[in-house]
Amino acid sequence: MESDYRIYVGIDWASEAHQACVLNHERGIVTERSFAHAGNAIVEFAQWLSGLTDDPGQVAIAIEIPRGTVVETLVERGFHVYAINPSSSIVFATATAWVGPRTTGATRSC
C-alpha cells in the first residue's frame, strides 16, 4: 500500500513524560525520544521533529489522546495527528505481533 507519509511517529502518552518512536516510510525504526509534559519540552520536541523533514504534512503521528497541548502544538506546525484508542492499538498489536525464537537476534525497541 502506497502512502503520502514519509515518516510515522507513535507517541506513548503519559502524565509526566511521553515516549515517541519515529519510523521511516519503510516502517523501520529511525529513533526514539522522550519529552516532558511541559510547555518548553513540547515545543522542543516539535522543533526536533520538524528537523526530520522538509514537509510536516508528510509526517503521520499517532497519539492516545485527541486534544491538549501536545496535539495542538503538532497540528499548528502542520503535522497530521491521529488519535488512536489505546484499547484498539493493544488488540492490533496482539493480533499482528511477531512471534519467533529469541535466538534469531530480532528485537523491537519501540
- Indicate whether 18 belongs to any domain: yes
CA angle 43, 93, 13 (to 5 degrees): 25
Residue 6 has which C-alpha cell? 514519509
End-to-end CA distance of the chain: 22
pLDDT digits (tens, 9 = 90+) for 36-45: 999 899 999 9
- Indicate whether 25 belongs to any domain: yes
- Rounded-to-integer distance, Cα 50 and Cα 108, Å: 25
The phi and psi torsions of 65 (rounded to 5 degrees) equal -135, 140
Residue 59 · residue 7 · CB < 8 Å: yes
- Indicate whether 110 belongs to any domain: no
Half-sphere exposure of 110 (CA within 13 A, CB side): 19
Counted domains in the chain: 1
CB atoms closer than 10 angstroms to residue 42? 20
Give the distance between the most distant pair of CA atoms in the chain: 45
- Indicate whether 63 belongs to any domain: yes
- Residue range(s) defining the domain that contains residue 89: 7-104
Residue 97 has pLDDT above 70, yes or no: no
- Indicate whether 95 belongs to any domain: yes
Give the pLDDT score at 86: 73
Q: Check which CATH number belongs to the domain holding 64 and give it.
A: 3.30.420.40
β-pairing, 17-24 vs 7-12, is antiparallel
Query: Pick the residue with more confidence: 110 or 8?
Result: 8
Q: How confident is the model at residue 23 (pLDDT cuts 50, 70, 90)?
A: very high
